[in-house]
Amino acid sequence: MTTTGCSLPVPFREVTDRNGRGYRVGESDVDLMGRTRAWMVVLPWVAMTSAGAAVCAFAAAGGAHTWSDGHVFRLLGVWMCLQAAVALPAGRLRVNGRLTARTALLIGACAPLTGWLFLAALPGTRVGSFGFAVCGGLGAGLVQVTCVSLVGTWCPERKGGRTGLVSGGFAVGSAPFLFLFAASVDLARHQAVCVAVGVGLCLVVASAGRLLQDPPKNWWPDHVDPLRRPVDPTIRRALERNPPAAKQHTSQEAACTPVLWLMWLCLLGTAGVNVFGVVVQVSFAEDLGFPRGTLGTAVAFMALVNGIGLGAVGRLSDRYGRRNTLVLACVVLGTAQFGVLVAGERGSGPFLLFWFLVCGLGGAAVFPLCAAMTADFFGENDNASHYGLVHSSTLVSGPVGVGLGAAVAGGAWSCHGALVLAGSAGLACAVPALFLKSPGRMRVRRIVPNPQPLGEEMA
């Protein structure tokens, strides 16, 4: 990455493709902000990693050995509700220009700081833990919808790998605190540590957000001609498999298309299965005799691997198409639930942990794939609003998945039936993914030739 001074404005021109979509070309990333757009990938990744460390640390901060399992499940439900609830209004404000990326990350940085102060002032109490969950959920929603949607606008020609990398930063940031939880370190008993962690993560997120900048509307990289076939084989393959949106849809236009609600339904099911599966799998492993510390270490390791693996999943979607990759992720998520069941019944510990890893990767891959597909289908101009609308499905799936998983953990339902249901639901989510197609695109096979060409009519 290089940073240079930005001098005089660079002239640009507007071009239109055969679908009527306009592109603003002629300006490079360095011309617009004085630095390469690689900064717009690294800085959101840093912010997402810090946010993940701040809001996924409640397990280590309160310690499951001092909080009951039911209380932890309620905290997780509150956190997921607020994270999903803030995504849509934040996306709308981002599109309307009332909330810049810098302001969004500044607010998102202050939220986890307030949550850690709750833990420091009220250690071990329900008020402190719920204050932590509320602030953490609000901060996570703001940071996530800002960072993930921003990457797609700066990398419109190859957004899959970069979106996956940024989205995976959340899991990477949570891994250290999950390791602390596995070691039974109760941070809530050390007020100075809580304050120091909160201040440090707040400064990191705010510093990363200070340099974020949105590109102009309809901006397209100057080294890629949107009207011609790219020379670079990697970019050519990515654009052929994932062509740009036929037009820049507004929020109202996108909401009127069936494709958006199919994506909403797909994310609804996969997110619910993912959360439900994690809760059930942990309960299932404990019933089989896995020590909580060993299980916590395995979960932390899986979070780290999944966070790194999402970048590879995004690159895979650039190469083979996002719809195909999404269908594969749904199939993997559903199949992994049955793999967990078989491994548990055979008593194979390593095989069980392997399926835990596969299940987590399949479920986590759906989020960056849906984020990249919203930009592919509806354009980059209103991407924050589109992504916020699709992501709002977790407002339903998250609490429902946590509630059903808590019922299984409490003994109200058998793990065997729960895993069969989760696996079947995961496989069923692949069905709506098969029908995802970019709306408004001209179909060549629908063009009917004129039976009387101009020459015959004149004759």
**pLDDT tens-digit readout, 123-135:** 667 777 788 778 8
The answer on pLDDT for 188 being more than 60 is no
pLDDT at 171: 84
Label residue 329 by pLDDT band (50, 70, 90).
very high
Token readout for 84 is 């999903």
Q: What percent of the chain has pLDDT over 90?
A: 37
**Lowest-pLDDT range, 2-6, 113-117, 302-306, 400-404?**
2-6
pLDDT at 191: 63
The answer on pLDDT for 267 being more than 70 is yes
pLDDT at 83: 86
The answer on pLDDT for 58 being more than 80 is no
The answer on pLDDT for 56 being more than 70 is no
More confident residue, 347 or 232: 232
From CA 231, how far away is CA 110, in angstroms rounded?
45
| Amino acid found at 176 | P
Check if the beta carbon of residue 55 is closer than 8 Å to that of residue 108. no
pLDDT at 459: 44
- CA-based end-to-end distance of the chain: 64
Q: At what angle do helices 292-320 and 233-241 cross, to 10 degrees?
A: 100
Check if the beta carbon of residue 275 is closer than 8 Å to that of residue 448. no
Q: What is the mean pLDDT of residues 430-456?
A: 70
From CA 303, how far away is CA 413, in angstroms rounded?
27
Check if the beta carbon of residue 11 is closer than 8 Å to that of residue 222. no
Residue 41 is inside which H or E element, if any? helix 39-55
The answer on pLDDT for 446 being more than 80 is no
Q: Which letter does DSSP use for residue 59 in this model?
A: I
pLDDT at 135: 82
More confident residue, 16 or 287: 16
pLDDT at 124: 64
The answer on pLDDT for 94 being more than 70 is yes
Q: At what angle do helices 126-154 and 69-96 cross, to 10 degrees?
A: 40
- pLDDT, tens digit, for every residue of 382-421? 999 999 999 999 888 888 888 887 777 776 677 788 888 8
Which residues are paired to 16 by β-bridges?
22
pLDDT at 5: 47
Domains parsed from the chain with CATH numbers:
24-221+234-438 (1.20.1250.20)
The answer on pLDDT for 440 being more than 50 is yes
pLDDT at 456: 47
Q: What is the mean pLDDT of residues 172-187?
A: 69
Q: Which letter does DSSP use for residue 23 in this model?
A: E
pLDDT at 162: 93
Q: How many CB atoms lie within 10 A of CB 200?
A: 15
Q: Which letter does DSSP use for residue 447 in this model?
A: P
Check if the beta carbon of residue 199 is closer than 8 Å to that of residue 113. yes
From CA 454, how far away is CA 101, in angstroms rounded?
54
From residue 76, how far is each of 36, 56, 82, 283, 407 by CA, in Å? Answer: 38, 9, 10, 16, 14
From CA 226, how far away is CA 15, in angstroms rounded?
8
pLDDT at 308: 85
pLDDT at 75: 77
Token readout for 26 is 């002629």
Three-point CA angle 455, 458, 459, nearest 5°: 85
pLDDT at 185: 58
Q: How many CA atoms lie within 13 A of 201 on its CB side?
A: 35
pLDDT at 457: 46
The answer for 35, left when phi > 0, alpha when psi is -120 to 50, beta otherwise, is: beta
**Lowest-pLDDT range, 32-41, 302-311, 322-331, 416-425?**
302-311
Q: What is the mean pLDDT of residues 182-194?
A: 61
The answer on pLDDT for 8 being more than 70 is no
pLDDT at 138: 87
Burial of 124 (0-12, 13-18, 19+ CB in 10 A): middle
Mean confidence (pLDDT) of the chain = 82
From CA 143, how far away is CA 43, in angstroms rounded?
12
Token readout for 306 is 């999944």
From CA 281, how far away is CA 288, in angstroms rounded?
10
